Amino acid sequence: MSRPRVYITQPIANSAIERLQSVADVEWNKDPKHILDKTALCEAARKCDILFCLLHDRVEADVIAANPNLRAIASMKITPSDIDVATATLRKIPVTVIPPIVTEATADVCWALLLAVSRRLVEGDKLVRKGIFPGAQSSYLEGAMVFGKTLGLIGGGGQIGRAVARRASGFGMKVLYWAPRRLSEIAERAAYLTYVSFDELLKDSDFVSLHTPLKEDTHHQIGAEQFRLMKPTAFLINTARGGLVDENALTLALTNKEIAGAGLDVFEDEPNVTETLRSMDNVVLTPHIGSAVRELRESMANIVVDNILEILSNKPASNCWNKEIYLN
């Protein structure tokens, strides 16, 4: 009997690959900078039994249809965004995910962006690399104070929002939050959070950080109207999902100095980032690296392998998103 075939869309931890190789024939795209397009994903799906995909992969109906014998779509995502789960479910193909284990790593990146954009660290780095040193007390790179300022967390009642709030205590910050569901008073006190209305948060915060999931009712949660409410000295930080922000409105707000700057790890049309945003000095951009910590990524990859091993053993996958396929 032939061994099952697994295709991985980008390199993952060696320990995870070795575990898979013990039970399956494994191929993978070996370029960590190359995202497979639809044509390449279809070709990958045709020659495998299980497709191991990452957050940036768009597994559309055409990709699933490319292989009538596809057994599973094993995702290294917390939610199967950009996977056509409905099509997979009709075919009784399990779509697996991973638990939400990226909280602390994402909170770290949120703070890295906040500090980098407010203190103009990327601009300073570029100058030094060009051999330009304005002077230790030059006004050229004056930025914004972080200590003692007000941080506003939209969707701040979740795990990542509260992790960001914990870090804010070390900076003596006042932390406001808004969420569709307010936390209990005990939870608010424990996290040093103050609940305010959505508009009040925008008006009073020096830093506005986004932590809501991307759904139909949160698409473009921050747009022209919201930027007009923010302080002209305020900064927007987004480590959640790009679609939460209307990037055209953000570009105008930055250009017109309605806000002071932005730190973005996610974008509306990933992996594409507009030339205008890329050209702005008051925007710090990172390529969706919230979970890019070696030991965390290794754990994530091995959870996907756990899911695959369950499927190959003809067991229901513990982290299956579309569990209804097992009901009949």
Name which of 98, 77, 76, 80 is nearest 89 in CA terms: 80
Largest CA distance in the chain: 72
Task: For residues 89 and 145, state if they share a domain.
Answer: no
Q: What is the per-residue pLDDT for 2?
A: 87
pLDDT at site 328: 66
- Show the beta-strand stretches assigned E in 79-230: 95-96, 150-154, 174-178, 193-195, 207-210
What value does the CA radius of gyration of the chain take, rounded to a whole number of Å? 22
Top-confidence residue, 39 or 156: 39
Instruction: Give the domain extent around 95.
Output: 5-101+293-326
Dump strand ranges (E) for the chain: 5-8, 25-28, 50-53, 72-75, 95-96, 150-154, 174-178, 193-195, 207-210, 235-238, 261-264, 283-285
Q: Which residue has the tokens 């709030």?
A: 165
d(CA 131, CA 76): 42
Question: What's the total number of domains in the chain?
Answer: 2
CATH of the domain at 87: 3.40.50.720
pLDDT tens profile 121-167: 999 999 999 999 999 999 999 999 999 999 999 998 999 999 999 99
Are 71 and 49 in the same domain? yes
Whether 182 and 264 map to the same domain: the answer is: yes
Q: How confident is the model at residue 327 (pLDDT cuts 50, 70, 90)?
A: confident
**Contact (Cβ atoms closer than 8 angstroms) between residue 228 and residue 79:** no
Q: Is 137 exposed, middle or buried, given 0-12, 13-18 or 19+ CB atoms closer than 10 A? A: exposed
Q: Kindly report the average pLDDT of the chain as a whole number.
A: 96
Q: Is the dihedral of CA 319, 305, 300, 78 positive or negative?
A: negative
Q: How far apart are CA 24 and CA 303, in angstroms?
A: 16
38 and 125 share a domain? no
pLDDT digits (tens, 9 = 90+) for 88-101: 999 999 999 999 99
The Cα 204–Cα 189 span in angstroms is 20
228 classed as catalytic: no
Q: What are 220-261's pLDDT values in tens digits?
A: 999 999 999 999 999 999 999 999 999 999 999 999 999 999
**Catalytic status, residue 288:** yes
Residues in the chain: 328
Q: Rounded mean pLDDT of 48-69?
A: 97
Across the range 19-25, mean pLDDT stands at: 97
Q: Do 25 and 119 sit in the same domain of this protein?
A: no
Backbone angles phi, psi at 52, to 5 degrees: -100, 110
Residues 130 and 87 in one domain: no
pLDDT(81) > 90: no
User: 232 CB contacts (<8 Å, ≥6 apart)?
Assistant: 257, 258, 259, 260
- Both 275 and 239 in one domain: the answer is yes
pLDDT at res. 277: 97
Report the distance separating Cα 129 and Cα 175, nearest Å: 36
Q: For a pLDDT cut of 90, what percent of the chain falls above it? A: 98
130 and 266 housed in the same domain: yes
Nearest to 236 by CA among 60, 114, 90: 114
Domain identity same for 143 and 165: yes
Catalytic residue among 241, 247, 297, 310: 241
Strand residues in 22-129 grouped as ranges (E): 25-28, 50-53, 72-75, 95-96
* Co-location of 309 and 176 in the same domain: no
Let me know whether 144 and 51 are in one domain: no
Q: Are residues 149 and 94 part of one domain?
A: no
Contact assessment for residue 212 and residue 221, using Cβ atoms and an 8 Å cutoff = yes
Helix (H) / strand (E) containing 160: helix 159-168
> What's the whole-number mean pLDDT along residues 34-50?
96
Which of 247, 288, 297, 310 is labelled catalytic? 288
Annotated catalytic residue 270: yes
Average pLDDT for 1-29: 96
74 pLDDT band (50/70/90 cuts)? very high
pLDDT tier, 58 (very low <50, low <70, confident <90, very high otherwise): very high
Q: What angle do CA 161, 79, 16 make, to 5 degrees?
A: 105
